[in-house]
């Protein structure tokens, strides 16, 4: 496990109860700075609850969590200043141009107009969208729109970027393009935490993953290490074994 000093995200004994339902049960894991880390699990396993706590959108019932060195309960404003988030739902305004969407997001983080346009131009270039600035967002393909949403989330240079099912609904070409972009973002020093139901995506993209089921972390490690530990040929087999499911006949 990553040491506390090297952790961009630190989760210790995290618990969340909704009435009589325990959504998270003593979840513990760390994410290293600059790492691409995947949260994997079946529907209702606790992935979204975990992410919402780390984003300060929910308060834990017990346990602690720190993001970019700040406690999510005691220092929520400091956490929000240092994180970016791309939810499953579209956040692009279709009636604005690509550049207008970018500079609007910059304004939300109090960037001055000139600084916002400079930052937007750099991020669009990184995303391969340099020639799209004057296009209306409504004409963009699904993959291009998702790249724009990622770029928008980076306008304030977050230390940690959270992605909730970033490639859902995209074709394989668009998904691979987005993977390449996420690797670029990580290469620039941003820590990435993502949820995905595409296990081949986690295998190809993530440095490490945590498999969560029924609110508990069942396994944590690099995909290759987990395959060895579980004597599995694929991350799908690891996932099924860790969550107590059986391979289809």
- Confidence at residue 4, expressed as pLDDT on a 0 to 100 scale: 60
Topology (CATH level 3) of domain 4-242: Rossmann fold (3.40.50)
| Domain ranges for the chain | 4-242
The percent of residues in the chain predicted with pLDDT above 70, rounded, is 96
pTM: 0.92
Rounded CA gap, 12 and 96, in Å? 42
| pLDDT tens digits, 15-55 | 999 999 999 999 999 999 999 999 999 988 999 999 999 99
Would you place residue 5 in the very low, low, confident or very high pLDDT band (cuts 50, 70, 90)? low
Alpha helices for the chain (secondary structure H): 47-54, 76-81, 98-108, 113-126, 142-153, 172-187, 199-205, 223-229, 235-242
Segment 116-173, tens digit of pLDDT: 999 999 999 999 999 999 999 999 999 999 999 999 999 999 999 999 999 988 898 9
Query: Which pLDDT score, from 0 to 100, does residue 88 have?
Result: 87
Which two tokens mark 126? Answer: 């990184």
Q: How confident is the model over 165-188, as pLDDT tens digits?
A: 999 888 989 889 999 999 999 999
| pLDDT tops 80 at residue 222 | yes
Average pLDDT over residues 89-97: 93
Tokens 């040491």 sit on residue: 3
Q: Identify the pLDDT of residue 71.
A: 97
Mean pLDDT computed over every residue of the chain: 93
């Amino acid at each position: 496990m990553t040491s506390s000093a090297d952790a961009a995200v630190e989760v210790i004994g995290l618990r969340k109860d909704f009435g009589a339902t325990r959504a998270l049960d003593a979840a513990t894991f760390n994410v290293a700075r600059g790492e691409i880390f995947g949260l994997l699990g079946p529907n209702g396993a606790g992935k979204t609850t975990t992410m919402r706590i780390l984003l300060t959108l929910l308060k834990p019932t017990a346990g602690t969590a720190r993001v970019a060195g700040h406690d999510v309960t005691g220092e929520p404003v400091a956490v929000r200043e240092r994180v970016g988030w791309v939810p499953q739902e579209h956040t692009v305004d279709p009636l604005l141009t690509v550049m207008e969407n970018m500079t609007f997001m910059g304004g939300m983080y109090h960037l001055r107009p000139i600084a916002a346009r400079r930052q937007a131009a750099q991020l669009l270039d990184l995303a391969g969208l340099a020639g799209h600035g004057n296009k209306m967002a409504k004409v963009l393909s699904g993959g291009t729109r998702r790249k724009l949403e990622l770029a928008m989330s980076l306008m304030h240079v977050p230390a940690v970027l959270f992605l909730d099912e970033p490639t859902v609904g995209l074709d394989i070409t668009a998904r691979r393009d987005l993977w390449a972009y996420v690797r670029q973002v990580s290469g620039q020093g941003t820590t990435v935490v993502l949820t995905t139901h595409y296990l081949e995506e986690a295998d190809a993209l993530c440095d490490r993953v945590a498999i969560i089921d029924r609110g508990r972390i069942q396994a944590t490690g690099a995909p290759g290490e987990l395959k060895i530990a579980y004597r599995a040929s694929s991350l799908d087999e690891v996932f099924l074994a860790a969550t107590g499911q059986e391979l289809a006949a």
